[in-house]
Structure 1
Amino acid sequence: MIKNILVVDNIAQNVKSQKFDELFRRFPCGPYTAMRTFQQIMLFDLDFHLQRLYNSLILMQHDNPQINFSEQYADNFSLSEIKKLVLQSAQVGFIEFFKLNGNIELKDPINEQLQQLKNLNQEQKVYRNDLRVLVLLFVNHDSDSGIDTPKVVLHISQLTRTLHSQLEDEKEQAQNDPLMKDNPYIIPYGCITEIRMGGNKRTNAEAKCMEWVERRKETEKYKCEESEEMLIIDEQQDNSILEGHSSNFFVVYDDGSVRTAGEGVLQGSIRSLVLQILSEMKVQCIFIAPKLSESELWTHAFITSTSRLLMPINELRVYNKVDDNKPSITIKFSPELGQTDGGINQMKYAQNEQMLGDLNSRVLAKLQQRAVPIFDKQL
């Protein structure tokens, strides 16, 4: 069993729980970010995550007195200081992670550690799937000195893929597929998502904070076991679908355009990557939240997040009330969309299917370009 690591004050410890919210609850409230590795020893979009962590801290000061820090100590909370703290914790954590999970006797200095980890990774002696790195940032108010300083808590665990399929034999086939086992970047089988009217929404979409993780549990307790994600709908804006609880939401329309909310959502790192690639592919992207009433024009939908990358949606269920047992509407995404009278043209569906496959391939190819070595002395 893979051992998870928690780093506090640059001291790494093995923890059983993979639920970061349970672990982070022990610490003061603050912004957090979720990163992923590439080839286990590189962090994807590090600067993006650090900037968002810093921005969230500044935004949250107005809403939470616990996060306020005195202006005279503002230099302690600069982006460069936060980056230094995060990288120090990450290096300590990864050294311990590989010691516990790969029986690696690491050497000094850092460049030797990096080379040894690279060699072991290439020889597949270390756990192959990439890792999830969660960082919590909070303000430490020293009652004796009166000095405010930033504190970082870091959690490292394995990334897991969830396979959802209505057909048990298809699920079994996926789990036994050697290609699926050996390649952590295979696009997953489509997932089920759901919308529950009246569910909780973010109070500040631009800030990624632990407060939202706790509040969304009030809605998530009604989530069906087979659902991958719950989507947030704005009932005041013509039932526009904004985002997921932990993901961004995209829809492909029958005209080949892609739509996703431009405002009122958290700007995720994979969302940013997808938008960049769509621009390179010359695919029209419209920054308007897809409306539920337009679902007849949808050919595909997908969610993006650090852990999921790009995950297609097979089925979207809509519940009229948060605690309803049966959905009032079920939207299915499949080639059969074009096989009925008045349905979406099959050629359009096939074109969008090809575009989505190309998009996914490019996302995987771009991961390395935007990843930086954890043990790089230049950082």
Structure 2
Amino acid sequence: MRSPEGLDTIDWSSLYHAYAEDGRDVPHWIRALYSDDADRVDDVLGELFNSVLHQGSVYPATVAAVPFLAHGAVHAVHGRAQLLALLAGAGGHGPEPQPGDEAEGCAAVGAEVGGLLHLLGDDDPQVRRQMVRVARRATGATVSVAVRELTLVYERDPAAAVRAEALIVLTRLDADPGSAHRLLHRALRDPVAAVRAVAALDLLERAQAPYPADLVRILADAGGHSGFDVHRLEFFPGVGDTDSRIADVLAEDADAAVAVARSWIAQGDVEGRGSRRAIELSDTWRDREDDTIALFTAALPHEKSRWDLFELLGGIVRWLPGSTHVDPALGDSLLVHAVAGASMAEQAQLALGRLGDERLLRRCARPGPQP
């Protein structure tokens, strides 16, 4: 790692990022990371994320900034978790970095892991979690040290998300597939739901459809827990976002998709995770109309984001004509949104029309004009 005193030794004018042909603004931002003003640091971190890690992309200026960001993660007063998140992203998007800037960023982050591992013992669980993600890029002689420290985190950390992600990284750093497989199978019996869920997902990714019923059952039961992050914005650099990983697995097995969606919806449809599985089922399997509508009916009353609700209502509109059995409860739930006067009302009204629900005419002042 390098202190801010070394910033002037870098020819930043020759290094570009997302918003500039040169990186001469980067040293200014890095120096500001050491401010005592937490709001100032937060603003600067926003600038860094937007410029040197824009939408997960790595640039020459990103690579040059890595050793300075590592120093800031250790010595700055504020923003340690965000700095580590920035470092994790600088190591590349997917499991294997792409040649070029991303590969160079991965190597640069890997060179800093050893000097950062002590942050796995930080008091802040978000710092520990982001450090686990940085440790994903450990390389060379640092791997054995990282594995030792991550094993302690996995065994002892009180935070569910930290333990779950430590398990993931341990399986990625372990060069022995058999050892990783045994670790995952032991984790299926862990008392923490998030740990069981990530273990089941990892093993399902290594299996072939139709999937083993015990793994599907564990993912269905444990994956609906709020401690298991499955929302669209939860990207794990070096591993991938959990939402897409689950979608890819369940796309291969319709029965597994139904079982997981039904269970997650019944558990409250946390973050719309069950609704999305139902929508993916409808987009992937064209012979599961009744299953799909039943899942949509169960999911609709649960609170969810506007985007998840929009997709759910759109799925109901598309799939109602092909369903042979519709629970009357669907009309009741649709009516709530049809009379709300919000932007979702038109779709809800259209769905009521396709149901032939006469309340559309009695309760909605302006039914949608679509056929």
**What TM-score range do you get, normalising by the shorter chain?**
under 0.3
- Higher-strand-fraction structure: 1
TM, length-normalised to structure 2 = 0.26
| Structure number with bigger Rg | 2
